[in-house]
Amino acid sequence: MKIARFELFPLRIPLKAPFVTSLGALREVESVVLRATTGDGLIGWGECNPFWSINGETQETCLAVGKHLAKALIGHDPSDIEGAHRIMDRLIFGNNSIKSAFDIALHDLAAQRAGLPLYRFLGGRENRQLTTDYTVSLGSPEKMTADAPDIVRSGFSVIKVKLGSGVEEDIARIRAIREAIGDTIPLRIDANQGWTPEIAIHVLNALAPFNIQHCEEPIPRWQFMEMRRVKEASPIPIMADESCCDHHDAERLIGLGACQRFNIKLGKSGGLFKAKKIIALAEQAGMEVQMGGFLESRLGWTAAAHMASTSDAVKYCDMDTPLMFIADPVFGGIVYGPAGTIAVPDALGLGASVDPSILMGGTAVE
């Protein structure tokens, strides 16, 4: 089985409302969909959603670099995923977002050829039911307080809150949300690198009474040497996100004792192959991880959900963004149920594809 053809497609879908973090606001999805076809007609799908301020890629750069990766992988055996990563990493440094789309498509093909659902191909034993949080975007305390009860009424059992734009305002946001929804439903907070170490310590201690599960990336990623100081002074567990892209980052953070948890995103790690390495390191260190992501459609999130089903170390899922789209372009894939539950498909391979009628303006490499 050899790859005979790759096709790269831009995908744009407006969001129901702006998705706002301390890094900025997004109003539409700009992803890249990859379709890989073998010589005997088997089709594998992949997707990435480049996030400018985190992985330094855009839809345009992914399409451009993707053509070079495709040329390098034509004729490659998709079951040799480690070899494909060697080829991609030798060809160009970084660019983990577009590399993740190729990684997912190769895994889809390899799992189909093996006659297995992707989670089983990755080493998982059972199809676990997953549960996602739902995110409150960054905004005024009044706006965020109004949004949180709507999420509770929708049945979600965990809420994620974006912070990182001001010390007292961030504290006020959480206090107001708690007053609006009560103390029962756990909150997860994400500063997206928005605080200094000193501010992080102050805010995290102030938020200790509010039933916070963890805080993602409280300080700038380049200050990872300061993360342990924040962790040791914080009553809330620290989860590395932007500072933990691949397994090399995870190994360094473990060595530093910098955090209690990792947030794994396929678009940061370069795909499933290296994400699995992060999980293995977390297992060895007795750490918990979260499967997160960017603004992928259900296609990309289906790959992440398969990965989440492979290890008990994956305790948390942040997989809500497809629910924010005005349209769903995916056939098959994960299914969202009550209370944020997610069902993973048992079909062969990824079990998801994209509606061909919306794939226009693609580039083929063969």
SS3 17: strand
Pick the catalytic residue: 162, 231, 268, 276? Answer: 162
Other C-beta atoms lying within 10 Å of the C-beta of residue 169: 13
DSSP assignment, residue 348? S
Q: CA-to-CA distance for 50 and 30, rounded, in angstroms?
A: 8
Pick the catalytic residue: 265, 268, 274, 276? Answer: 265
Pick the catalytic residue: 7, 170, 216, 249? Answer: 216
Pick the catalytic residue: 241, 242, 246, 296? Answer: 241
Task: Give bridge partners of residue 335 from the DSSP assignment.
Answer: 343
Active site residue 190: yes
Active site residue 89: no
| Alpha-carbon separation of residue 120 from 30, 108, 150, 228, 346 (angstroms) | 30, 12, 36, 36, 9
Active site residue 99: no
Count the helices and strands in the chain (H runs, E runs): 13, 17
Active site residue 265: yes
Pick the catalytic residue: 30, 133, 170, 190? Answer: 190
Active site residue 268: no
Q: CA-to-CA distance for 336 and 298, rounded, in angstroms?
A: 10
Burial of 235 (0-12, 13-18, 19+ CB in 10 A): exposed
Which residues are known catalytic residues?
162, 190, 216, 241, 265
